[in-house]
Structure 1
Amino acid sequence: MIAFVGLVIAVIGLIHFYLWKRLVRDAFRPGRLRRAGGVLAILLAVLVPATMIGTRTADLRWLAWPGFLWIALMFYLLVTLAALEIPRLAVSLWIRKRGKGTAPATTAGAGNPAELAPMAAEGASPASGSPVGALSTGTDLRADSAASGEPLGDVTPPGIERRLLLARGAAIFAGLTAAGITGYGVRTALGPPQLDRFQFPLAKLPRAMDGTRLAVVSDIHLGPLTGVRHAARIVELINSVDADLVCIVGDLVDGSVAELGRFAAPLADIRARRGAYFVTGNHEYYSGYQEWVTEVARLGVRPLRNERLEIEGLDLAGVNDIGGADFGDGPDLRRALGDRDTSRPVVLMAHQPLVARDAAPFGVDLQVSGHTHGGQMAPFNLLVKLEQPVVSGYGEVDGVPVYVTNGAGFWGPPVRVGAPPQVTLIELRTP
């Protein structure tokens, strides 16, 4: 654990060093602005772990907005600057080649070596103010410039000026791009969830249940940045589709019942003809899962704890999240599915898509999941793909059909890019 924490801190430090180099050191000459940028980079590097740790305690919740917004901005600065590295290298090489291929214009005694040598032989002195003296001892000229307060632009090689201009242009472009993407992502994350519709032909589904509708929602993530309106808006969308079943597939909360109970209160208003159901996600286990299981049941949403229900001609099963294994409350697929009538179709609620690999031997007809947030902040979805077999939408895992909803909330930064918040309506059809 200590090694992992150390690795995370080292990565955060390296990221901020890279950002400082590209945005501050490369873009500013030595002086007050560069020093101030260095101090700011250190403070922002400290802010990241302080936010991740501190927002778990009530006293430091004020860090949530500035800290998580910086994490999002940091991510998109890193992505943008990394994308600019190859164009930057190409332009730098062009500037270097151009500088070597063209000699600057000179006048007598103003930098041409063939003309400066005789003048130096005649004893021209640096103190005399002659061009030879100025060019032969750059330190004297820099001292004179510093004393007079005038810039030293006339002795700065043109290539240096071009590189400085290039660095500043890249820094401005990266800053504007990252700020624009982050602003768009905040607006998307805090906006209303979208309704995603999906039809699925379910083998063995009785004709009497053809057209059964499941409203699937995950990753609501009630927390310090959401407020009461967040859950109410999701419930309104769920109720608008007149679903037969409502499936809440984990990560409902990021905090205790004492802190967030009032935020979850709108769940009591969910309407569904055959009931609303809930399975735990990994974040419930960070938030006092036993209290939340009791609270969710009190609000009229039935927890499925490694169990299965027969709902007319359909079985609905639910398993605890994989993360519950560390708390003695992990998934038990055999208990939920082992003794079922295989002539009946079964829909499995499981927070993480990868549960389908273990569910495959039990003949699951459809698994509904969340957890991935659809990647939440593209291109982070490419990394999520390394852990989960399906990131967003429909896929198959070892022969098990899996539908992954993007989730209706957010975790960490209140930012969603390329994966808008959603509630999914799955209509089951008889083939």
Structure 2
Amino acid sequence: MFVVLFAVVMGAAHYYLWKRAVRDTTVPGRSRRVGTGVVVALFVLLMAGLLVDAFAWPGYVWLACAFYLAILFGVLEVPRLLLNRATRRKPVAVGGPPEEQPAEVAEPTDPDRRLFIARSLAVVGGVATAGLVGYGATQALGDPVVKRVPVTLGKLDPRLAGYRIAVVSDIHLGPLLGRSHTERIVRMINEQQVDLVAIVGDLVDGTVEELGEAAAPLRDLVSTHGAFFVTGNHEYYSGAEPWLAELDRLDVHPLRNERLRIERAGAAFDLAGVNDVTGANFADGPDFARALDGRDRSDPVVLLAHQPVQVREAAKHGVDLQLSGHTHGGQMFPFHLAVGLQQPVRSGLATIDGTQVYTSNGAGFWGPPVRVGAPPDITLVELHHNFAR
């Protein structure tokens, strides 16, 4: 159903692109036939990229181009309309009484001028699209930004002040991102010399058989108290149980609706993790009561949960800080605007129902290898004590 719906939507988008980039810019003949063939071929390439790994790179790059080209052509509809109106020929007045004068109706736009306007705006849209997608590709494929985010927890023992958690999400190993991507992330985390690593879901887009070698560098993560993982929605599409076993083998410890004590210098906090909400469709959903009930509430609890929306349930259980991903920060503007329809936080630190939640942009991408307005990141969350309490 997803493939069918996607094909219908993209088919409509390609028809619109054909109208603006081919039909409006050519006259009937060979050029129009060639242009039509190119648009049809690009649509086929896009669908092939979705279904066949060998076509993933060109298919997903064209998806980003088609997306921005359609948006830009839509924006350019207004100047196109105004320019076409401005170039209409006015009727020529003739001598005689007023009743013999022509009606005040402009003649249609000169065909040559209409063609020139359409071609000019198509070039503008094409150049702008190339610039946006090129810039977005450098953002998506470059090194993630290392963010430093101080978080004050009122219950934190002063002896834990300065405790550093490396948060990384949405690595999305798959047909476009492989072992070198994992090695880069591991290297960047290890350079920070952190106390704990939290991988908050959507590590993979494929099976262990396909991507086990790409994930293998995770065994080289170095931190004081280890690396921990919670499922994202894509783990369930990729085979969650084999991946959880594989990560445990790599010393990345899954937290499946459970918690443990993290201790340093005689002080402690609770680290908990819950499954992603998608797990409910696979008889493996989040269980906040199992993960959080029965703990000492005088100590703070840090919860790993893939989706920021889970913070509302976390707040009911007295969670002090939730670490999440899932949103990609919007990944490609203007998707930023749609994230708020589903999630309470798109990116960064916020407080929801009395619980602080930090949402990472993620270190990878899904679909097009493009990020516009949401660079990939690895975040160092540094815990601080509230001395004013």
2:55 to 19, 44, 63: 63
Map residues 134-173 of structure 1 onto 2, 5 A cutoff. 159-173=110-124
Does residue 340 in structure 1 map to residue 295 in structure 2?
yes
Separation (CA, whole Å) in 1 of partners of 2:240 and 2:92: 71
Separation (CA, whole Å) in 2 of partners of 1:158 and 1:193: 51
Map residues 216-235 of structure 1 onto 2, 5 A cutoff. 216-235=167-186
2:321 to 366, 369, 389: 366
Task: Give 1:158 shift.
Answer: 7.1
Q: Output the TM-score relative to the length of structure 2.
A: 0.91
1:184 to 125, 135, 142: 135
Separation (CA, whole Å) in 2 of partners of 1:220 and 1:240: 18
Does residue 76 in structure 1 map to residue 76 in structure 2?
no
Map residues 9-88 of structure 1 onto 2, 5 A cutoff. 9-52=7-50, 54=51, 60-88=52-80
Task: Give 1:101 shift.
Answer: 5.2
Q: Find the counterpart in structure 1 of residue 311 from structure 2.
A: 356
Q: Find the counterpart in structure 2 of residue 409 from structure 1.
A: 364
Query: Which blocks of at least 5 consecutive residues in structure 2 are unaligned?
Result: 94-107
Tell me the secondary structure at the aligned position of residue 164 of structure 2.
strand
Verify the 8 A CA contact 2:85 2:109 in the aligned structure 1: no
Separation (CA, whole Å) in 2 of partners of 1:245 and 1:354: 24
Separation (CA, whole Å) in 1 of partners of 2:184 and 2:355: 32
Task: Give 1:173 shift.
Answer: 0.8
Tell me the secondary structure at the aligned position of residue 219 of structure 1.
coil
Q: CA RMSD in A?
A: 1.5
Task: Give 1:197 shift.
Answer: 0.7
1:318-347 Cα distance to aligned partner (Å, 9 max, x none):
011111111111111111112222111011
Does residue 265 in structure 1 map to residue 255 in structure 2?
no
Which deviates more from structure 2 when the two are superposed, residues 390-399 or residues 157-166?
A: 157-166
Separation (CA, whole Å) in 1 of partners of 2:3 and 2:194: 44
Separation (CA, whole Å) in 2 of partners of 1:397 and 1:93: 51
Q: Which amino acid aligns with 2:361?
A: N
Change (3 A) 1:8 1:222: closer
Tell me the secondary structure at the aligned position of residue 341 of structure 1.
coil
Task: Give 1:6 shift.
Answer: 4.6
1:140-196 Cα distance to aligned partner (Å, 9 max, x none):
xxxxxxxxxxxxxxxxx8722111111001111111111111111112111111101
Task: Give 1:5 shift.
Answer: 5.3
Separation (CA, whole Å) in 2 of partners of 1:158 and 1:426: 61
Separation (CA, whole Å) in 2 of partners of 1:212 and 1:100: 75
Query: Which blocks of at least 5 consecutive residues in structure 1 are unaligned?
Result: 55-59, 104-156
Change (3 A) 1:158 1:403: closer
Does residue 215 in structure 1 map to residue 166 in structure 2?
yes
Q: Which amino acid aligns with 2:365?
A: F
Q: Which amino acid aligns with 1:178?
A: T
Q: Find the counterpart in structure 2 of residue 57 from structure 1.
A: none
Map residues 312-351 of structure 1 onto 2, 5 A cutoff. 312=263, 313-351=268-306
Verify the 8 A CA contact 2:48 2:56 in the aligned structure 1: no
Tell me the secondary structure at the aligned position of residue 28 of structure 2.
coil
Q: Find the counterpart in structure 1 of residue 332 from structure 2.
A: 377
Task: Give 1:301 shift.
Answer: 0.9
Q: Find the counterpart in structure 2 of residue 396 from structure 1.
A: 351
Separation (CA, whole Å) in 2 of partners of 1:25 and 1:262: 48
Q: Which amino acid aligns with 2:7?
A: I
Change (3 A) 1:158 1:301: closer
Q: Find the counterpart in structure 2 of residue 256 from structure 1.
A: 207
Change (3 A) 1:5 1:409: closer
Q: Which amino acid aligns with 2:116?
A: L
Does residue 430 in structure 1 map to residue 385 in structure 2?
yes
Task: Give 1:9 shift.
Answer: 2.8
Separation (CA, whole Å) in 2 of partners of 1:210 and 1:65: 45
How many residues align? The count is: 368
Q: Find the counterpart in structure 2 of residue 121 from structure 1.
A: none
Separation (CA, whole Å) in 2 of partners of 1:414 and 1:208: 43
Tell me the secondary structure at the aligned position of residue 374 of structure 2.
coil
Q: Find the counterpart in structure 2 of residue 289 from structure 1.
A: 240
Identity score, percent? 57
Separation (CA, whole Å) in 1 of partners of 2:356 and 2:350: 6
Separation (CA, whole Å) in 2 of partners of 1:232 and 1:5: 32
The structure with the largest helix share of the pair is 1
Q: Which amino acid aligns with 1:85?
A: E
Tell me the secondary structure at the aligned position of residue 25 of structure 2.
coil
Q: Find the counterpart in structure 1 of residue 86 from structure 2.
A: 94
Verify the 8 A CA contact 2:87 2:109 in the aligned structure 1: no
Q: Which amino acid aligns with 2:184?
A: R
Tell me the secondary structure at the aligned position of residue 285 of structure 2.
coil
Q: Which amino acid aligns with 2:385?
A: T
Rg (Cα) greater in structure: 1
Tell me the secondary structure at the aligned position of residue 314 of structure 1.
strand
Separation (CA, whole Å) in 2 of partners of 1:102 and 1:197: 70
Change (3 A) 1:101 1:340: farther
Separation (CA, whole Å) in 2 of partners of 1:41 and 1:81: 15
Task: Give 1:7 shift.
Answer: 4.0
1:89-139 Cα distance to aligned partner (Å, 9 max, x none):
11122112xx12568xxxxxxxxxxxxxxxxxxxxxxxxxxxxxxxxxxxx
Q: Find the counterpart in structure 1 of residue 151 from structure 2.
A: 200
Q: Which amino acid aligns with 2:230?
A: V
Task: Give 1:389 shift.
Answer: 1.1
1:36-95 Cα distance to aligned partner (Å, 9 max, x none):
22222223233333332x1xxxxx211101110110100110121111111211112211
Q: Output the TM-score relative to the length of structure 1.
A: 0.83
